[in-house]
Amino acid sequence: MKQIALDIGLPSEPMFSNYLAGPNQPALSHLQLWAGGELRSPVPAYLWGPGGSGKTHLLRAAAFALRERGARVGWLDASCSEPPDFEDDWAAVFLDDCHLYTAVQQQAAFVWFVRALNAIDGRPRGVLAAGASPPADLRLREDLRTRLGWGHVFALQTLSDEQRSAVLRLQADARGLVLSEDLIDFILSRFARDLTHLVQLLDRLDAYSLQTKRPITIPLIKSMLEAS
């Protein structure tokens, strides 16, 4: 059966606390330790894996953790057609969707990388990056590609159906929602199964349930889709 990818706006703020690591616990633990320390390791880290494995979630969670501590960071992804100049007061730089970078973005990413590790005050900044392929397979300019593979490299995996179900239950509990096993099976069989869409779907179901004053059931989901 064809799965539905909903266009339902921005997801909830990605944080370490709402990331179910499953087989990706080593990457989560590394980034939590890195983002939580006053003196962050200057060794870069690169995450790679298929869509839905949580690469962007983890990068955004690390950036959020730094901002919560009052730090400023630089963020570059494939949607940024005109990357800003590197700023010396950034505590770290984040390079997402590296496999999609244009020549302009690759140039900016290279400059950010070099200036982060060679900061003018002598304190190297952190570099966290992510892409769909391991560094050796990235079709990027050689000086950037090799730098992305300098440090820690984590291969992320997508979650199993059982782990996705656990994510739905965890997110539902956080919203005070009750999801039956049949309802979870229905969602996983008919909607895009990456975690971003699943969390967005819960947000939309929660809002629609409050609006219609009805519990979340399969008929409610069908009604919501018909009304959209």
Residue 133 lies in a domain: yes
Residue 10 lies in a domain: no
Q: Write down the residue that tokens 């590296």 correspond to.
A: 98
The domain that holds 171 is classified in CATH as: 1.10.8.60
Kindly state whether residues 147 and 170 are assigned to the same domain: no
What pLDDT shows up at residue 12? 57
Kindly state whether residues 129 and 183 are assigned to the same domain: no
Kindly state whether residues 145 and 219 are assigned to the same domain: no
Provide the Cα torsion 159, 165, 168, 172; round to 10°: -150
Chain segment 139-170, per-residue pLDDT in tens? 999 999 999 999 999 999 988 888 888 888 88
What pLDDT shows up at residue 3? 42
pLDDT per residue, tens digit, the chain (228 aa), is 344 333 333 345 788 987 878 899 999 999 999 998 766 678 999 999 998 888 999 999 999 999 999 999 999 999 999 999 999 999 999 999 999 999 999 999 999 999 999 999 999 999 999 999 999 999 999 999 999 999 999 999 988 888 888 888 888 888 888 888 999 999 988 887 777 678 788 889 999 999 999 999 999 999 998 887
Residue 151 lies in a domain: yes
Strand partners, 93: 74, 127
Examine the fold and report which residue of 137, 155, 173 is the final residue of a domain before the chain moves on.
Answer: 155
Residue 7 lies in a domain: no
Residue 89 DSSP one-character state: T
Kindly state whether residues 100 and 185 are assigned to the same domain: no
Number of folded domains that form the chain? 2
| β pairing state of 72-76 and 90-95 | parallel
Examine the fold and report which residue of 121, 155, 189 is the final residue of a domain before the chain moves on.
Answer: 155
Residue 216 lies in a domain: yes
Kindly state whether residues 41 and 96 are assigned to the same domain: yes
| The token pair that represents 15 in the structure block | 């944080």
The domain that holds 134 is classified in CATH as: 3.40.50.300
Residue 44 lies in a domain: yes
Straight-line distance from the first to the last Cα atom of the chain, in angstroms, rounded to the nearest whole number: 21
CA angle 216, 221, 226 (to 5 degrees): 145
Q: What separation in angstroms does the CA of 61 have from each of 20, 31, 46, 128?
A: 12, 9, 15, 11
Kindly state whether residues 140 and 29 are assigned to the same domain: yes
Q: What separation in angstroms does the CA of 55 have from each of 18, 20, 36, 201?
A: 14, 12, 19, 19
DSSP assignment of 102-168? -HHHHHHHHHHHHHHHT-TTS-PPEEEEEESS-GGG--S-HHHHHHHTSSEEEE--PPPHHHHHHHH
Residue 199 lies in a domain: yes
pTM for the model: 0.78
Kindly state whether residues 203 and 101 are assigned to the same domain: no
Kindly state whether residues 111 and 216 are assigned to the same domain: no
Q: Write down the residue that tokens 């140039």 correspond to.
A: 107
Examine the fold and report which residue of 155, 178, 194 is the final residue of a domain before the chain moves on.
Answer: 155
What is the percent of the chain with per-residue pLDDT over 70, rounded to a whole number? 93
The CA distance from 151 to 184, in Å, is: 39
Kindly state whether residues 30 and 136 are assigned to the same domain: yes
Residue 58 lies in a domain: yes
Kindly state whether residues 102 and 204 are assigned to the same domain: no
Q: Identify residue 97 by its one-letter amino acid code.
A: D
What is the percent of the chain with per-residue pLDDT over 90, rounded to a whole number? 64
Q: Write down the residue that tokens 């940024």 correspond to.
A: 80
Domain region containing 134:
16-155
Kindly state whether residues 189 and 150 are assigned to the same domain: no
